[in-house]
Amino acid sequence: MARIVLIGAGSITFAKNLLSDLLTYPELADETTVVLHDIDVERLNTAERMTRWMIDKLGVGAKVEAHLGRRRALAGADYVINEIAVGGVKAAHIDFEIPARYGLRQTIGDTLGIGGIFRALRTIPVMVGIGRDMTELCPDAILINYTNPMSMIPRAVYEGTGLKKVVGVCHSVRDTEATLARLVGIPKEEISFRTAGVNHQAFVLRFEHRGENLYRRLDEVIEADPEMRRRVRVEVYRRFGYFPTESSEHGSEYLPWFLPHQDQVDHFRLPIGTYLDWLQDNLDTYEALVAGLRAGNGVEIAPGNELASLIIHSIETGTPRVLHGNVVNDGLIGNLPSDAFVEVPCLVDKAGVQPTTIGALPAQLAALNRNYLNVGDLTLRAALEGRRDHVYHAAMLDPNASATLTLQQIQDLVDELIVAHGASLPDGIRN
């Protein structure tokens, strides 16, 4: 029987999607214990009520536990799925509102940039604590991480705790490959893809159908549609030669050429601060779900091949699948740092998550990735070593911040954010 722990189970929509898969797999539905953990008692209670309703509705034999105490939840786990947001909505508003006063634009702010740096600084201490608990209480469990920044969080656990079964998952590669298939009008399952890099800045290296290079067809689609040329990811593709995996809104934050320039913001239709709108939508969704549960209406059970569910199913049943995971590089991509976490295709079966060796990326893509990874590496050092100076260094090297602000403005902004986030930051940084 698999013991599956959801850390941050109060992320209700995510929990619902995950459980819609796990509880409808015939091989798992009667042999699983779902363990819910959240530090918010109201959200934890909601997650438990929803899970029990789903089990009753499906008539399966899965068991449920709910624990405010993290260690009790982790004890004996086989799989730990992480979806935490340290600081919640309040912290996200700080990450947007203070930089905005300095003239720094962000769209989503959870992966790179000032928002990504401070999200990582808040999250890494908690994740290191989870990793240390796991090495003691469930050392053979695999940690499946969804929380951004994806290039930093799994690596922090890997380096900071000794836990080695760590993989990060994200929908961006799968969604991008589906989008490209739709654009060229060929079923995705007939296309040969090879996609790799770092999370939110991976690139489609091979895009072929029966030996035909489909990039030629994509070029024709782009040429015929002026509106497509108003997307950042299309502009990056046209300039660098390979299609990136992140959306235009999000991808604009990792580069120096878009958000600092009003004409580019207008041309590429970049929605400044859109993440705050998403958060409000999530709150509205949560309230509607709570009302539905109270009224006895339950929730929609809609299996959707959530990535963590697929990993667990493949390991438990031996069903082989190839999924993209974020894992320690260790030579998988030859021209990126060996200690970085990279996003590559992984075979998943009874043996676990087995990453594919890619070789060297095209030089221009590796250069972009190294710029991206430099900020993450310094942020990681700042968090693990308690070094405030590395927070400055990370922010100074961030492409968007460095293209927008002076060095002194960046330091002043960092100082103000450190004060605003206070005790949620690692020791050493706030002193």
Say if CB 50 and CB 299 are below 8 A apart. yes
Give me the DSSP letters along 180-205: HHHHHTS-GGGSEEEEEEETTEEEEE
- The residue with tokens 């430099």 is 374
**122: nearest Cα among 425, 427, 428:** 425
Position 275, amino acid: Y
Say if CB 107 and CB 33 are below 8 A apart. no
ω into 149 cis (within 30 of 0)? yes
Instruction: For Cα atoms 137, 149, 373, give the angle at the middle one, nearest 5 degrees.
Output: 115
CA distance 32 to 22: 8
CA distance 285 to 193: 35
Residue 320 DSSP symbol: -
- For 88, residues 6+ apart whose C-beta sits below 8 A from its C-beta are none
Looking at the chain, the number of H-run helices and the number of E-run strands are 17, 13
- Summarize the annotated binding site for Mn(2+) as residue ranges: 170, 200
Among residues 93, 171, 209, 393, the one annotated as catalytic is 171
Measured CA distances, 358 to 178, 329, 336 (Å): 21, 10, 11
Task: Judge whether 267 counts as a catalytic residue.
Answer: no
CA distance 80 to 23: 16
User: First vs last Cα of the chain: how many Å apart?
Assistant: 47
Catalytic annotation, residues: 171
